[in-house]
Chains A and B, each alone.
Chain A
Amino acid sequence: MSYFKKVLIANRGEIARRIIKTCHRLGIETVAVYSDADADTPCVKEAGEARHIGGSQAKESYLNMEKIIQTAKDTGADAIHPGYGFLSENTKFTKLCEDAGITFIGPDAEKIQLMGDKIEARRHMQKAGVPVVPGWDGKLDSAEHALEIAEELGYPLMLKASAGGGGIGMHIVYNKEELTKSFSSAQQTAGASFGDDTVFLERFIEHARHIEVQIAADHKGHAIHLFERECSIQRRNQKVIEESPSPFLTEALRRKLCETAVTGVKEIGYTNAGTVEFIFDDETGDFYFLEMNTRLQVEHPVTEEITGIDLVELQLKIAAGEDIGFTQADIKHNGYAIEARLYAEDPDTYFPSPGKLTKLKLPEGIGRFDFAYEEGNTVSPFYDPMVGKIIVHGANREEALDWLDNVLDGIEIEGITTNLPLLKQLVNEKDFREGSYTTNYLQTRKAGRE
């Protein structure tokens, strides 16, 4: 079954390779696009054809919408897969695709817009009966107004940009003084970063776990979930380790969470794959909707490993107008999967470390490696620091962690500094092994050692 004739991948690195792989398996031709810095990377060689689209800075290449659309036309691509980041949640780009008669592999512009507006997303989810973080979603006119509302909600609070995401522009305030101080700078940051200075207030949950639900919905109104991913191990609001199932959830809570996500998705009439993110209060066990990502996630392999479902194939299928083709009851979770992200950075200070990979040897026979680079490549300073992802599957969490430990020990990487030592330590730490951690884990464990 060929959903499309030729797919252009408007991305780079590991996710471009990942998408190419599924396309080729399905007999779909592929076009890679690349910047100056990425000319020698594996995805360029692996694609059916490759086109240079501009300079190393993303705005000159991977964010250059007109150039990408023109390249799709020139190569005869009938669909574009945006991967994650770059143009994946850009409604201007989805409209350009539509005008050019090229299928954008993802939801329609209206849904991307809706979920990109954090206040609107909150309102819609609340309407569907999905719990949202206690807060106030009206427009805050001034610092005085914010103080008034804050008095009713109670501290600590989180001041957030409505158009924000990915942890940017969030301010935690513990009292009146901090709120007064942060208000105008939060507005400014929001305006400068997202072109919209609307901010809102939510209760700040101090001991939180970040758990998200993978969903998919087709154009006929079928919506399913593919269970959860536990993503609480983070540094600077960026995920480091993801696993599924979550060691924190009971079977009853898991069912409730996943069904809640499907309800929300149906309410907004969403199509294609997406992720509903929830925050769990570790103290009360309550969960709340945080935001929805309207694209493929970095950590999607964890879900693929436990369900045996190829999420890129599912995206292509839905984008081509086909039914999902199976029901909720057909989806089973098998065993336990865990992903570790290998970053080019200092394991303690997170100081970035671009440079040439003089050696990169990955163990054979165990584990799945979704890597952006190979030996001899230069890890570019122009993009995110992720060198690759290591994914293992085991019969249970204990076994998966043992596998991960083995795989990490078998990796030989030289030329740059990476967080490999941190990953190796984490896998063997008692609290992590016991599943006892919140989003503060990396921060507090570090403080504990100093």
Chain B
Amino acid sequence: MKEIVSSLPGVFYRRPEPDKPVFVEEGDEVKAGDTIGLIEVMKSFQEVKAEADGVIKSIKVEDKAVVDAGQVVAELE
């Protein structure tokens, strides 16, 4: 199992825009480099990407919740 961590502190978003679908759901297959969420930090948005291929086992952070640098955002199988 691999962990996807946020390298920055900020606010986690699961959708690219409020009225758009989520980037990924649990059970979705992802490739290395796929965006799984956004971190809002200092009024800018940074992408959180999967670093390996796999299946999203669980998403650990709720939409619009605060995350710390190094916090696990999702788990990958």
Whether, in the assembled complex, B18 has its beta carbon less than 8 Å from a beta carbon of chain A, the answer is yes
* B9–A354 touching, CB < 8 Å: yes
The main secondary structure of chain A at its interface with chain B is loop
List the B residue with the shortest CB-CB distance to A385. B42
Q: Given A57, A188, A354, which contacts B42 in the complex, CB threshold below 8 Å?
A: A354
Whether, in the assembled complex, B37 has its beta carbon less than 8 Å from a beta carbon of chain A, the answer is no
Q: Given B17, B18, B19, B41, which contacts A381 in the complex, CB threshold below 8 Å?
A: B41
Whether, in the assembled complex, B11 has its beta carbon less than 8 Å from a beta carbon of chain A, the answer is yes
Whether, in the assembled complex, A252 has its beta carbon less than 8 Å from a beta carbon of chain B, the answer is no
* B19–A192 touching, CB < 8 Å: yes
Whether, in the assembled complex, A352 has its beta carbon less than 8 Å from a beta carbon of chain B, the answer is yes
Known: A57-B66, A382-B10, A382-B11. A352 touches B19 (CB 8 A): no
* A352–B11 touching, CB < 8 Å: no
Which residues in A have their C-beta under 8 angstroms from that of B9? Answer: 354, 381
List the A residue with the shortest CB-CB distance to B39. A381
Which residues in B have their C-beta under 8 angstroms from that of A354? Answer: 8-10, 41-42
State in angstroms the CA–CA spacing of A350 and B46 once bound together: 11
Shortest Cβ distance from residue B42 to the other chain A in the assembled complex, whole angstroms:
4
Q: Type the 1/0 row for B35-46, where 1 means its CB is closer than 8 Å to any CB of A.
A: 000000111101
List the B residue with the shortest CB-CB distance to A166. B43
State in angstroms the CA–CA spacing of A203 and B4 once bound together: 44
Q: Type the 1/0 row for A378-390, where 1 means its CB is closer than 8 Å to any CB of B.
A: 0001111100000
* A344–B17 touching, CB < 8 Å: no
Shortest Cβ distance from residue B12 to the other chain A in the assembled complex, whole angstroms:
11
Whether, in the assembled complex, A56 has its beta carbon less than 8 Å from a beta carbon of chain B, the answer is yes
A residues 385-417 touching B (CB-CB < 8 Å)? 385
Whether, in the assembled complex, A345 has its beta carbon less than 8 Å from a beta carbon of chain B, the answer is yes
Q: Sort chain B's interface into a size bin.
A: 10 to 19
Q: Type the 1/0 row for B2-26, where 1 means its CB is closer than 8 Å to any CB of A.
A: 0000001111000001110000000
A residues 332-385 touching B (CB-CB < 8 Å)? 344-345, 350-352, 354, 381-385
Shortest Cβ distance from residue B8 to the other chain A in the assembled complex, whole angstroms:
7
Which residues in B have their C-beta under 8 angstroms from that of A188? Answer: 17
List the A residue with the shortest CB-CB distance to B65. A57
Shortest Cβ distance from residue A13 to the other chain B in the assembled complex, whole angstroms:
12
Which residues in A have their C-beta under 8 angstroms from that of B43? Answer: 383-385
Shortest Cβ distance from residue B11 to the other chain A in the assembled complex, whole angstroms:
6
List the A residue with the shortest CB-CB distance to B17. A192
Max count, chain A CB within 10 A of own CB: residue among B8, B19, B41? B41
State in angstroms the CA–CA spacing of A212 and B17 once bound together: 33
Max count, chain B CB within 10 A of own CB: residue among A189, A345, A354, A381? A381
* B8–A352 touching, CB < 8 Å: yes
State in angstroms the CA–CA spacing of A345 and B11 once bound together: 18
Shortest Cβ distance from residue B49 to the other chain A in the assembled complex, whole angstroms:
15
State in angstroms the CA–CA spacing of A188 and B17 once bound together: 10
Q: Given A55, A189, A352, which contacts B44 in the complex, CB threshold below 8 Å?
A: A352
Which residues in B have their C-beta under 8 angstroms from that of A382? Answer: 10-11
State in angstroms the CA–CA spacing of A192 and B66 once bound together: 22
State in angstroms the CA–CA spacing of A381 and B10 once bound together: 5
Q: Given A56, A192, A350, A384, which contacts B18 in the complex, CB threshold below 8 Å?
A: A192
* B18–A383 touching, CB < 8 Å: no
Shortest Cβ distance from residue A358 to the other chain B in the assembled complex, whole angstroms:
16
Which residues in B have their C-beta under 8 angstroms from that of A384? Answer: 42-43
* B18–A344 touching, CB < 8 Å: no
* B66–A383 touching, CB < 8 Å: no
B residues 19-71 touching A (CB-CB < 8 Å)? 19, 41-44, 46, 66
A residues 53-85 touching B (CB-CB < 8 Å)? 55-57
State in angstroms the CA–CA spacing of A300 and B12 once bound together: 34
Which residues in B have their C-beta under 8 angstroms from that of A383? Answer: 42-43
State in angstroms the CA–CA spacing of A143 and B73 once bound together: 40
Which residues in A have their C-beta under 8 angstroms from that of B18? Answer: 192
* 17 A-B contacts (beta carbon < 8 Å): A56-B66, A57-B11, A57-B66, A189-B17, A192-B17, A345-B42, A352-B44, A352-B46, A354-B8, A354-B9, A354-B42, A381-B9, A381-B41, A382-B10, A383-B43, A385-B42, A385-B44
- 6 tightest A-B contacts by CB? A385-B42, A352-B42, A381-B9, A381-B41, A381-B10, A352-B41
